[in-house]
Amino acid sequence: MFPKNCWYVACTPDEIAEKPLGRTICGEQIAFFRDGDGKVAAVKDFCPHRGAPLSLGYTEGGGLVCGYHGLKVGRDGKTLSMPKQRVGGFPCMKSYPVEERYGFIWVWTGDADKASSDAIPHLEWAVSDDWAYGGGLYHIQCDYKLMIDNLMDLTHETYVHSTSIGQKEIDEAPVKTEKVGNEVTTSRFMDSVIAPPFWQGNLRTKGLPDDQPVDRWQICRFTPPSHVLIDVGVALAGNGGREAPADKRVNSVVVDFITPETETSHWYFWGMARNFKADDPALTDAIREGQGGIFAEDLEMLELQQKNLLANPELRLLKLDIDAGGVHARRIIDKLLKEENPEAAESSLA
């Protein structure tokens, strides 16, 4: 069960550029396509004629044509036409509110009447010319909440990403967790440390020395339903850390949109936005490739953690200070679930 009265990232525009896309989100099989105006549309991926997946078909005249027998569905789920058939009485299939914004397609799988595009969070880095963004998508076989836990506690970088962004000082620095309304923030500040390889590279890119002590920060911010944006960076030590002048620091936003597929799988849209050398696409590619490699290191751990939890449902996990971010995020998810489904049980790890 998932909070459904909210916007999830469903896909990126390139995924529907050539043909429709079939993707399961929050347990709903959905076909995404562009209508006649080029506007993205989302309908249940099930042809009302014989149940074929509409996403195997093609778009034509603003509708999505089933690739089996030619029934054409409109963006509202109504059948527009079918060769030699009167379609007036055909059942209307479910359609989904969908928005294209900030380089992502957002979908609302819950009560359509409650959908408002205003509820899509503002992403300054996606609209400002001072910022550049690059990212990718992983399909991961674990509960999306395990990924939230992962991102709200960066202690794991020391262990999982020891050769790139991890460093011993992370798990030695205290973590501070704050909850304000439905937002949860965990933050860590490591003063006067040597930057790990990933940040050394970024310092060099910006023309800063990579062998001098830096003040490093990580501020992870969870907002419902499952977005985690992380303000990360390093500044030459003693210049005010995160508040240092731009020419003394290098920083970026780690972007994580985590979209449930099933109870034990999810779509992970990861990326990085930076406000330096924003007009350098080769740098964007290089960072994307590096980040993709680092984030892939989490997959085996998360998928085996999921198997372990399924195999040992009776075992209670610990909730340490470092876990407080994930624990609070799960409580918010549980609260939203309860609001939508008063009967819903609590998340087992909350």
Instruction: Decide: 10 and 106 in contact? Cβ < 8 Å.
Output: yes
Name the one range near its own copies by CB under 8 A: 12-20, 32-40, 147-155, 266-274: 147-155
Q: Which of 248, 190, 245, 246 is nearest to 218 (CA)?
A: 190
- For residues 312 and 173, give the distance between their C-alpha atoms in angstroms, rounded to a whole number: 32
The one segment of 60-68, 128-136, 237-245, 336-344 that binds its own copies by CB under 8 A: 60-68
Token pair for residue 148?
């939230």
Residues 6+ apart with CB under 8 A from 271: 133, 134, 135, 136, 254, 255, 288, 291
Shortest approach of its own copies to residue 219 CB, angstroms? 18
- Closest contact distance (angstroms) between CB of 273 and its own copies is 27
Cβ atoms of residues 153 and 121 within 8 Å:
no
Q: How far is the CB of 51 from its own copies (least distance, A)?
A: 5
Hey, how many other C-beta atoms are within 10 angstroms of the C-beta on 59? 17
Three-class secondary structure of residue 94 per DSSP: coil
Nearest alpha-carbon partner for 182 in 54, 326, 333? 333
79-138: contacts with its own copies (CB under 8 A): 82-85, 90-91
Among residues 16, 66, 220, 230, the one that binds its own copies under rule CB under 8 A: 66
Count the neighbouring beta carbons within 10 Å of the beta carbon of residue 321: 12
CB closer to its own copies out of 107 and 160: 160
Position 65 contacts its own copies (CB under 8 A)? yes
Q: Which of 15, 100, 171, 210 binds its own copies (CB under 8 A)?
A: 171
Q: Does 322 bind its own copies (CB under 8 A)?
A: yes
# residues contacting its own copies (CB under 8 A) = 48
Decide: helix, strand or coil at residue 288.
helix
Considering Cα of 34, then 134, then 28, then 224, what sign does the dihedral take?
Answer: negative
Indicate which single residue of 2, 7, 33, 46 sits in contact with its own copies (rule: CB under 8 A).
Answer: 46
Among 38, 174, 181, 342, binds its own copies (CB under 8 A): 174
Question: Of 12, 95, 109, 155, which lies in the binding site for its own copies, with binding defined by CB under 8 A?
Answer: 155
Residue 264 binding its own copies, by CB under 8 A: no
Q: Minimal distance in Å, beta carbon 297 to its own copies?
A: 10
Beta strands in 12-103 (DSSP E): 21-25, 28-34, 40-44, 58-60, 63-65, 72-73, 79-81, 98-101
Q: Which of 15, 19, 35, 52 binds its own copies (CB under 8 A)?
A: 52
Is 172 or 289 the residue whose CB approaches its own copies more closely?
172
Q: Which of 13, 60, 112, 159 binds its own copies (CB under 8 A)?
A: 159
DSSP state of 71: -
Task: Pick the binder of its own copies from 323, 325, 333, 336 (CB under 8 A).
Answer: 323
Burial of 51 (0-12, 13-18, 19+ CB in 10 A): exposed
How far, in Å, are 21, 230, 257, 258 from residue 223 at the CA level?
27, 11, 10, 11
Q: For its own copies, which is the closer residue by CB, 94 or 338? A: 94
**Contact residues for its own copies (CB under 8 A)?**
29, 45-46, 48-53, 56-57, 65-70, 82-85, 90-91, 149, 153, 155-156, 158-160, 171-172, 174, 300-301, 304-305, 308-309, 311-312, 315, 317-318, 320-323
